[in-house]
Amino acid sequence: MRDIVAPESARWQAFTRIFGHNAAAAGYQLLIPPLMEDLGVFTRIGEATDVVTKEMYDFTDKGGRRVALRPEFTAGVCRAYAELRPLTPWKVWYSGSNFRYEKPQRGRYRQFDQVGVEVLGSDDAYVDVEVIALAWDFYRQLGLQQVTLVINSLGEPADRAAYVEALRQHFEAAGTTLSEQSRETLLKNPLRVLDSKRGEDAGSVESAPTISEFWSPEAGEHFATVQSGLTDLGIPFTLNQRLVRGLDYYRRTTFEFQGGTLDSAQNALGGGGRYDGLVESLGGPPTPGIGFSLGVDRTLLACSDEGVFSAPELAVQVFVVDTTGGREAMAITHELRRAGITADRAYDNRSMKAQMKAADRSGAQLAVIVGTDEQTAAAAMIRPMRGGEQFRVERNELVEQLRSQLTGHQ
Ligand code: AMP
């Protein structure tokens, strides 16, 4: 787990703010679900996924309840829907930390953040398009050029079940030519064998049946509408029949955004898809849903690699230097902040030289300087920090004068 410190923390905050702004502008409401849920909420997302079986931070609380820190958002959102029964379509966005006990490495952490959206209560293929477009445009807005969109359809639950059975037979026939890990995965979840990157599995994975052979006409039609919608919006994508994604509840559309700069094991910047039966299994009515989660940590790494979306400017506008004891600085910074001018100051009544050094470091455009002369005359000096003559102003005209000097200030 990591500390996110400035200036990275400012970039992090800007990332979330822009995402939230976009989502709200598209009619999504912010949902802040609890960080911890009943363990059962997460075990329903897939008994055969590593996220649930190996990576969960679960424990018994003081009341004897089995609980877990969330490893992802979707299950908690569906639990909230089942509990609150809001009007549909329920369009929500969220941001925050998840926890998975994984092997930490670049792009993979035990505490990581996601932003995302979910839409509950609509089966409309154009919702799939809207959701994918929201993520795509966000990546574009960040400036990322090397992100690609990969899509697939897992068909209806019955199509998926038939496909899983066909895969089971296919991989069982491969027998001991499969790696030991894949043989183990096969027992739990044949779909996951498709993810294997091991050399000895390559042939069997290559010759495995593809999901499109199992699509029902409805599933095929739904997916065709999604694709034509993406094309209409000018969003490029590639089809990958091997894209099955981790969690068990996906059906129909699944998608992933892949970065161009990270190792292949960590190149998924975000992903999502349709899910079925999840709300129902959490005690709600049968409800279709679709959403995505984007990894904040990993997407910011990709931004650094591509040299885009740098940290926003952290500097204050004005730095107040007071060599008369600090009381003037206290009053002036307070007045400026109330007036909407960002301001900082030096403490501990340090020397003029030390305070000017601090003013320089702060990156402020202007310094306000109060010495004994200015104090006596109820005045202050304004010194432009990036060149230009300093000048004296009346104390009661200070805010006005600063406003007129500050560039970019409303
Ligand atoms: P998933 O829920 O596994 O599909 O993950 C969605 C996104 O969250 C991924 O594409 C990653 O960007 C991010 N993510 C998942 N697990 C981690 C992790 N351990 N560390 C950092 N980011 C992660």
Residue 290 β-bridge partners: 119, 274
**CB-ligand 1 contact for 293 (6 Å cutoff):** yes
How many whole angstroms from 270 Cα to the centroid of ligand 1? Answer: 7
- For residue 334, the model assigns a pLDDT of 98
**What single-letter DSSP state applies at residue 121?**
S
For 239-259, how does the pLDDT look when each residue is reduced to its tens digit (9 = 90+)? 998 888 656 678 899 999 999
Residue nearest to atom 2 of ligand 1 (CA): 72
**Overall average pLDDT of the 77-83 stretch:** 96
**CB-ligand 1 contact for 114 (6 Å cutoff):** yes
**Which H or E element spans position 303?**
helix 296-306
**CB-ligand 1 contact for 251 (6 Å cutoff):** no
Best residue among 114, 117, 301 to mutate for probing ligand 1's pocket (most ligand atoms within 8 Å of CB) is 114
How many whole angstroms from 97 Cα to the centroid of ligand 1? Answer: 11
Residues contacting 67, CB < 8 A, separation 6+: 36, 37, 38, 39, 58, 59, 60, 61
Q: Which atom of ligand 1 is closest in space to residue 114's alpha carbon?
A: 8
370, 346 Cβ separation under 8 angstroms: no
- For residue 49, the model assigns a pLDDT of 74
Residue type, 105: Q
Residue nearest to atom 14 of ligand 1 (CA): 295
230, 257 Cβ separation under 8 angstroms: no
**CB-ligand 1 contact for 246 (6 Å cutoff):** yes
- For residue 250, the model assigns a pLDDT of 83
Banded model confidence at residue 330, pLDDT cuts 50, 70, 90: very high
Tell me if residue 91 falls in helix, strand or coil.
Answer: strand
Banded model confidence at residue 51, pLDDT cuts 50, 70, 90: confident
Residue nearest to atom 6 of ligand 1 (CA): 270
Query: Of residues 261 and 223, which shows the higher confidence score?
Result: 223
- For residue 191, the model assigns a pLDDT of 87
Best residue among 298, 299, 301, 305 to mutate for probing ligand 1's pocket (most ligand atoms within 8 Å of CB) is 298
**CB-ligand 1 contact for 267 (6 Å cutoff):** no
For 190-243, how does the pLDDT look when each residue is reduced to its tens digit (9 = 90+)? 888 887 878 899 999 999 999 999 999 999 999 999 999 999 999 999 999 888
**Overall average pLDDT of the 13-28 stretch:** 98
**CB-ligand 1 contact for 244 (6 Å cutoff):** no
**Overall average pLDDT of the 285-296 stretch:** 96
Residue nearest to atom 10 of ligand 1 (CA): 270
Sheet-wide strand order for 289-295: 29-30, 90-99, 111-120, 289-295, 268-275, 250-258, 148-153, 238-239
**Which H or E element spans position 392?**
strand 391-394
Phi, psi of 159 (to 5 degrees): -65, -45
How many whole angstroms from 60 Cα to the centroid of ligand 1? Answer: 25
**Overall average pLDDT of the 89-110 stretch:** 95
- For residue 248, the model assigns a pLDDT of 67
Pairwise CA distance, residues 384 & 399, whole Å: 15
For 117-154, how does the pLDDT look when each residue is reduced to its tens digit (9 = 90+)? 999 999 999 999 999 999 999 999 999 999 999 999 99
323, 352 Cβ separation under 8 angstroms: yes
CA 363 to chain centre: 30
Sign of CA dihedral 248, 185, 105, 145: negative
pLDDT greater than 80 at residue 263: no
How many whole angstroms from 262 Cα to the centroid of ligand 1? Answer: 13
Residue found by looking up tokens 């060599």 in the block? 323
State the virtual CA torsion across 93, 94, 100, 103 in degrees, nearest 10. 80
Q: Which atom of ligand 1 is closest in space to residue 272's alpha carbon?
A: 4
User: Parallel, antiparallel, or unpaired for β 29-30 and 90-99?
Assistant: parallel
**Overall average pLDDT of the 63-74 stretch:** 97
Residue nearest to atom 9 of ligand 1 (CA): 270
User: Parallel, antiparallel, or unpaired for β 268-275 and 90-99?
Assistant: unpaired
Pairwise CA distance, residues 76 & 38, whole Å: 9
- For residue 314, the model assigns a pLDDT of 84
Pairwise CA distance, residues 410 & 396, whole Å: 20
- For residue 47, the model assigns a pLDDT of 67
Mean pLDDT over each residue of the chain, to the nearest integer: 93
> How large a percentage of the chain has pLDDT more than 90?
81
Residue nearest to atom 20 of ligand 1 (CA): 108
For 333-374, how does the pLDDT look when each residue is reduced to its tens digit (9 = 90+)? 999 999 999 999 999 999 999 999 999 999 999 999 999 999
Q: Which atom of ligand 1 is closest in space to residue 270's alpha carbon?
A: 10
**CB-ligand 1 contact for 11 (6 Å cutoff):** no
- For residue 410, the model assigns a pLDDT of 43
State the virtual CA torsion across 306, 307, 312, 315 in degrees, nearest 10. 160
- For residue 249, the model assigns a pLDDT of 74
Residue 178: which of 164, 166, 192 has the closest Cα?
Answer: 192
Show the DSSP H helices in 44-151 as ranges.
50-53, 74-84, 125-142
Residues contacting 401, CB < 8 A, separation 6+: 382, 393
Tell me if residue 86 falls in helix, strand or coil.
Answer: coil
- For residue 270, the model assigns a pLDDT of 96
Best residue among 112, 150, 244, 303 to mutate for probing ligand 1's pocket (most ligand atoms within 8 Å of CB) is 112
Q: Which atom of ligand 1 is closest in space to residue 107's alpha carbon?
A: 21
**CB-ligand 1 contact for 74 (6 Å cutoff):** no
**CB-ligand 1 contact for 116 (6 Å cutoff):** no
**CB-ligand 1 contact for 297 (6 Å cutoff):** yes
> How large a percentage of the chain has pLDDT more than 70?
98
**CB-ligand 1 contact for 55 (6 Å cutoff):** no
